[in-house]
Amino acid sequence: MCVSKLLDVEEHVWSPMYGLKGNIDATVQVTMKDGKDLKTLTVPFEVKTGKHANANHMAQTALYNLLLSDRYDLEIVYGILYYMETSQTMRIPTIRHELRHMIMQRNQLACHIRERSVQLPPMKRSKNMCGKCYAKAPCFTYHKLADDGNGETSGMDVQFDEVVKHLTPKHQDFFLKWENLLTKEEKETQKLKRELWTMVSQEREKVGRCFSDVIIEEGSWSEDQGTSKINRFDYTFIKRLPNPGHSFLESQLAVGEPIVVSDEQGHFALALGYVTAVRKQRISVAVDRRLHNARIRQQGFDESNNQVFASIMEVVPEGSTQDDAQGKIQQAPIRYRLDKDEFSNGMAVVRNNLVQTMAEGVFGSREIRRLVVDLIPPRFKTAPTQYTIADQESLNVDQRKAIEKVMSAQDYALVLGMPGTGKTTTIAHIIRALTSQGKSVLLTSYTHTAVDNILLKLKDDKTPVLRLGAPAKVHPDVQQFAILAGQPMNSFDEIKAAWHDTPIVATTCLGIGHPLFNERTFDYCIVDEASQITLPICLGPIRMAKTFVLVGDHNQLPPLVQNEEAREGGLDVSLFKLLSDTHPDSVVNLEHQYRMCEDIMTLSNTLIYKGRLRCGTEQLRFKKLDVPNMSALKQLHYDSSTILRPGTPKSFCTSMAQSCCWLRDLLDGETRVKFVNTDTLQPLTCEEAKGNRIVNPAEARIVTQLVEGLLTVGVPDGEIGVMTHYRSQLSLLKHGLRAHVGVEMHTADRFQGRDKDVVILSLVRSNDSCSIGDLLKDWRRINVAFTRAKTKLLVVGSKSTLKGSGKEEMLSKFISLMEERDWIYDLPADALENHFFDDTSTQLTASGLSPLKTRKNTSPRKGISPRKIPKLGLGVDKENRRPEPKRARIGEKVLMKDKVILRDILNDMTNGESNSSPTTSLTCVSNDANSAHRAREISPLKPRPTHHRNTSIGTLAPSRRKRKTPTMPAIRPTAAIRAARAIKTTAPSTRAFSVTARRAGGGSDFDPPSGWLWGVKPGEKYEKEGWELPFYTLFCGGIIATGVVLAFKPDTSLDTWALEEARRRLEKEGILPDPEK
């Protein structure tokens, strides 16, 4: 027998068929003699470092035979077991009878796991076996506390009592409570784990935890030998048959999420890794194994005698490539599925923390039981230890008290850091003070980010630091501290020096399983974000030190608990909250904040902190957003260059005056806090439910327009944060703002620890039942959302929904506070459409984008010069005086020359009839921001004075040249009514032009609808006083003169039928009007 090919190394196989998973040392291809014939077989190769054959090793190899047969879809007849020390090689055949007994044992164990409770399988009651067992101490502890066992029931007599005699009924109650809560939480994660093989990929995709039927995008894969194994291979996946409206953005698989890559043929966990990028049409991942050209059957394959596969690892002749050695492999695209990895949790570590806390003889366990279980008050020195740090003068009074509290603590100290009070900076100063006294410090937190943020404060210090963890998860600027993973060690002495001689060791709370912690303990353990960590997780690191320091704020995010029963049972009560409520004297508060201006601070200070928060400086109190160029906002207002574009809305905004433009009002630097009420836009702003996902597309449009406005006036994208509590809404927002990569968008949970100059919060919920859901009822998450902004906080939502949610709800109290401060801004009913956004992001729908408008340039709005906009109306300097009348004549030839489409429109509207009137007198009317009405008469004769006010519609810049008077075609009243409905009569920015009819007697050719003013033909007189009857024309590449006075309804926006009709005809002929003329 010889090994002819290495197929894979440490291949991990998950087999739902057998309910087993395992890592096979090597998968090899062997050639062996079978009588006179040679056979090529694929087999598992298991390597052992010892020298004695063991039945357990044989059973393990036999089970690998099963796993490999499931992975490669063929019968594996035997496996190879190799002992390195003796070079003994054994063939382990697949014997059905033996495997049957092992599967039965597996099923018994699975039954206990599935019906998991504190109750465990019965004790073996064998003094010989149990006395030598490596798990004796935790086994005895569980039997004592969970089964209420004793020496007799265990079968170990005195030996059992010696191990558990220190445990009391109070310890038992504590253990049972937290073990039961962990079991409930574990059941929740087990549900998600089972989905991988109990739900087809299409069903799991509907709930947002999977992408089904994806293929590798051609040419997208790459391998980086310099990175760690977990993310060595990069792939981009696309949908094999994309459905209309599908988006990879609408899922729980966000950047950084762990994933499992499987195929649609039932082979699970082909690779594990992380999401690296998500776009609408594709998703990129970094995984630990090569996916392409793996397990591909080669030419001549035979299931019995020639099991030949392409190898992902193959030795080839010098100068040849792997493809040359294997031959060109023709592989059809494999259909994959990407699942969210629900298996990457540390429940075993958490349970071990609980067991070790109850053990006797383990460092720190006795003190932890005394302080955490028995809740004995902590001890403090009467005088704190003296310390010196370099920039001690920069500390405020709160930070000094915190350092003194820690230095005087003999058991533990708690630091409650309110939002923006500089918890990270304070921790860095505490570490400096401790190390200056020669103390060793273990720095931990639940996330890698929190640990690295503190190390960034220390990276310029000369104190050595050891950062434990995978380099891929460590911040690049502190990689220098990850010396064990990043630098090769040449001897055990170097490793020992790194382990023992560095005064500061940093890792996550779940990283305490590192071998270092079997060798070393610490003087102090500092746990950042302690209020977000469950008690059992926190027990692990604090047991490693004589004194521990917890830093957090239980008024912000609690520990994440998925199971509702576990949450109600208290699993979301952190050790920080437990100790601070029990012994408030052990807490020191950080109250001076340096983030928020006073208005923003008022929200959390009033609703949460009972007035304890203070601004760190007087300058901070009145700080406001710097708006570099508010005048640039006119780019988003309609003008003559945008009125003729497709999709022109029914009403639009042309004024940037205060209180006239909602966008300007909210972007104003003086506006520090506003609740942006969307009730006026109902029913457009009602929430939409898609399965268990809730979105509010109209609210997302408001948010994207606000962001576009901020970018337009010059606010840097890096200073803008967008937040929501709902992942589906976040996906919608990310899609809408995908062109602005610098704008940070997260859920409230992910925004913990971050801050921005501007934060826009989308609350989503808007419904008649005033239901706000569990997420918005969590006042701690609301507190986080309200305390991320420095100078401007805009909260977008439904006032009626929030206020009606119940007087005891935090958001209802928030609305009351906003009403007291007059900080509620009611959006106009047409807010969604009355600004010009040529970016499709402002036209979001629940399923994607509406096809209303497009933008050619999707780059951030930086350095854009204002559009050249024709002047509308009168200048500011003429605001308070009547303009001089101006004259102009428009000849028929000039009007109709080279305007075939225009002539056709007029002919269609008049049925070819002409007006015999030789002249038409036009009075062009303009407006200003104060809606003062002015008129300029354009007449072929001398100007005639007018003695009444005119309706303000727009401005037509008349020519001063004298031209021949045109003969204008007449339009029937019915056509006139139709044209009237095509003109917007109330918005001051409409591009219609009006003529003032004289006030005299007369009648009408038609009866206008109720509420409309009367309209008559030219030449007829009006007798009623105060009528404002405009004569409309339409500017669209020329003038379409109507010829009758049209009826109009005051304060009503009409459909733009005539605009659309003219544009349709022009586009049909391939001619578009020049908006500049």
pLDDT score at 359: 92
Q: Which residue has the higher pLDDT, 1006 or 189?
A: 189
Tokens standing for 820?
A: 């007291």
Work out the pLDDT band at 495, boundaries 50, 70, 90. Answer: confident
Segment of 2-6, 593-597, 957-961 carrying the highest mean pLDDT: 593-597
pLDDT score at 389: 75
Q: Is residue 871 part of a domain?
A: no
Q: Is residue 596 part of a domain?
A: no
In the predicted structure, residue 1021 carries a pLDDT above the cut 70: no
In the predicted structure, residue 520 carries a pLDDT above the cut 60: yes
In the predicted structure, residue 1063 carries a pLDDT above the cut 90: no
Same domain for 493 and 510, yes or no, is yes
pLDDT score at 676: 96
Same domain for 425 and 572, yes or no, is yes
By C-alpha distance, which of 172, 180, 160 is closest to 119?
A: 180
pLDDT-wise least confident of 256-260, 338-342, 519-523, 967-971: 967-971
Residue whose entry in the numeric block shows the structure tokens 């053990």: 359
Task: Give the Cα separation of 767 and 24 in Å (integer).
Answer: 55
pLDDT score at 451: 93
In the predicted structure, residue 379 carries a pLDDT above the cut 60: yes
Task: Give the Cα separation of 239 and 198 in Å (integer).
Answer: 22
In the predicted structure, residue 780 carries a pLDDT above the cut 80: yes
Same domain for 178 and 280, yes or no, is no
Work out the pLDDT band at 196, boundaries 50, 70, 90. Answer: confident
pLDDT score at 188: 81
pLDDT score at 346: 66
By C-alpha distance, which of 138, 579, 581 is closest to 374?
A: 579
| Range 775-790 average pLDDT | 93
pLDDT score at 641: 58
Q: Is residue 55 part of a domain?
A: yes
Same domain for 986 and 901, yes or no, is yes
pLDDT score at 1005: 37
User: Per residue, what are the HEC states of 428-467?
Assistant: HHHHHHHHHCCCCEEEEECCHHHHHHHHHHHCCCCCCEEE
| Range 736-763 average pLDDT | 90
Work out the pLDDT band at 639, boundaries 50, 70, 90. Answer: low
Work out the pLDDT band at 1065, boundaries 50, 70, 90. Answer: low
Work out the pLDDT band at 837, boundaries 50, 70, 90. Answer: confident
| Range 662-670 average pLDDT | 93
Segment of 586-590, 916-920, 930-934 carrying the highest mean pLDDT: 586-590
- 428-448 CB burial, b ≥16 within 10 A, e <16: bbbbbbbbeeebbbbbbbbbb
Q: What is the DSSP letter of 574?
A: B
Residue ending a domain, choose from 300, 321, 340: 340
pLDDT score at 623: 95
Q: Is residue 392 part of a domain?
A: yes
Segment of 195-204, 205-214, 385-394, 786-795 carrying the highest mean pLDDT: 786-795
Tell me the three state secondary structure of residue 149.
Answer: coil
Task: Give the Cα separation of 196 and 268 in Å (integer).
Answer: 8
| Range 386-391 average pLDDT | 75
pLDDT score at 880: 37
Length of the chain: 1077
In the predicted structure, residue 917 carries a pLDDT above the cut 90: no
Same domain for 168 and 59, yes or no, is no
By C-alpha distance, which of 55, 160, 137, 146 is closest to 101?
A: 55
Tokens standing for 781?
A: 């998450």
Tokens standing for 237?
A: 């996946």
Residue 1059 CB contacts under 8 Å (≥ 6 apart), including other chains: 643, 644, 648, 982, 1034, 1036
Distances (CA, A) of 521 to 97, 698, 1032: 50, 56, 87
Residue ending a domain, choose from 169, 194, 219: 194
pLDDT score at 642: 55
Same domain for 681 and 830, yes or no, is yes
pLDDT score at 840: 46
Task: Give the Cα separation of 592 and 596 in Å (integer).
Answer: 11
pLDDT score at 482: 81
In the predicted structure, residue 980 carries a pLDDT above the cut 50: no
Work out the pLDDT band at 456, boundaries 50, 70, 90. Answer: very high
Task: Give the Cα separation of 407 and 394 in Å (integer).
Answer: 19
Residue ending a domain, choose from 135, 159, 194: 194
Same domain for 581 and 694, yes or no, is no
Task: Give the Cα separation of 39 and 33 in Å (integer).
Answer: 6
Tokens standing for 346?
A: 């540390």
By C-alpha distance, which of 438, 527, 509 is closest to 468?
A: 509
- Four-point Cα dihedral 970, 1023, 888, 942, nearest 10: 130
Same domain for 892 and 984, yes or no, is yes
User: Which domain CATH number covers 218?
Assistant: 2.40.30.270
% the chain with pLDDT above 70: 72
Burial of 612 (0-12, 13-18, 19+ CB in 10 A): exposed
Mean confidence (pLDDT) of the chain: 77
Yes or no: say if 799 and 732 are a contact pair by the CB < 8 Å rule: no
pLDDT score at 291: 87
Q: Which residue has the higher pLDDT, 505 or 1052?
A: 505
Segment of 242-246, 381-385, 493-497, 784-788 carrying the highest mean pLDDT: 784-788
| Range 830-834 average pLDDT | 85
| Range 587-601 average pLDDT | 96
Task: Give the Cα separation of 938 and 872 in Å (integer).
Answer: 17
Same domain for 273 and 361, yes or no, is no
DSSP-based helix, strand, coil % in the chain, nearest 5: 35, 20, 45
Structural domain harbouring 179: 121-194
Q: Is residue 311 part of a domain?
A: no
Task: Give the Cα separation of 926 and 932 in Å (integer).
Answer: 9
pLDDT score at 344: 62
Task: Give the Cα separation of 997 and 1004 in Å (integer).
Answer: 14
pLDDT-wise least confident of 205-214, 247-256, 1037-1046: 1037-1046
pLDDT-wise least confident of 344-353, 583-592, 793-802: 344-353
Work out the pLDDT band at 320, boundaries 50, 70, 90. Answer: low
Total domain count, the chain:
6
Tokens standing for 1021?
A: 């007189």
In the predicted structure, residue 464 carries a pLDDT above the cut 60: yes
Tell me the three state secondary structure of residue 80.
Answer: strand
Yes or no: say if 1053 and 984 are a contact pair by the CB < 8 Å rule: yes
pLDDT score at 950: 34
Tokens standing for 843?
A: 């036209």
Q: Is residue 622 part of a domain?
A: no
Tell me the three state secondary structure of residue 408.
Answer: helix
Residue 141 CB contacts under 8 Å (≥ 6 apart), including other chains: 163, 164, 167, 355, 358, 359
In the predicted structure, residue 717 carries a pLDDT above the cut 50: yes
Question: Taking the CB of residue 246, how many other CB atoms lie within 10 A of it?
Answer: 16
Query: Vertex 479, ends 476 and 484: CA angle to 5°?
Result: 150
Same domain for 752 and 885, yes or no, is no
Tokens standing for 289?
A: 């194994």
Maximum Cα–Cα distance across the chain: 124
| Range 140-169 average pLDDT | 92
In the predicted structure, residue 646 carries a pLDDT above the cut 70: no
Task: Give the Cα separation of 888 and 210 in Å (integer).
Answer: 69
pLDDT digits (tens, 9 = 90+) for 46-86: 999 877 888 889 999 999 999 999 999 899 989 999 999 88
Work out the pLDDT band at 585, boundaries 50, 70, 90. Answer: very high
What does the DSSP assignment read for 795-816?
EEE-HHHHHTT-TTSHHHHHHH
User: Which domain CATH number covers 530?
Assistant: 3.40.50.300
pLDDT-wise least confident of 7-16, 633-642, 811-820, 828-837: 633-642
Yes or no: say if 27 and 8 are a contact pair by the CB < 8 Å rule: yes
In the predicted structure, residue 787 carries a pLDDT above the cut 60: yes
This prediction has a pTM of: 0.70
| Range 301-310 average pLDDT | 87
Distance of CA 1005 to the CA centre of its chain: 61
Yes or no: say if 528 and 551 are a contact pair by the CB < 8 Å rule: yes
Sheet holding 1030-1035, edge to edge: 992-996, 1030-1035, 1039-1041
First to last CA, the chain: 89
Tokens standing for 748?
A: 């409230």
Segment of 86-95, 535-544, 825-834, 860-869 carrying the highest mean pLDDT: 535-544
- 26-54 CB burial, b ≥16 within 10 A, e <16: bbbbbeeeeeeeebbbbbbbbebeeeeee
Beta strands in 500-640 (DSSP E): 504-508, 522-527, 545-552, 587-590, 592-593, 614-615
By C-alpha distance, which of 46, 52, 56, 44 is closest to 85?
A: 52
Q: Is residue 613 part of a domain?
A: no
pLDDT score at 963: 39
Same domain for 144 and 284, yes or no, is no
| Range 923-932 average pLDDT | 33
Q: Is residue 607 part of a domain?
A: no
Residue whose entry in the numeric block shows the structure tokens 């437990």: 578
Same domain for 131 and 103, yes or no, is no
Q: Which residue has the higher pLDDT, 115 or 965?
A: 115
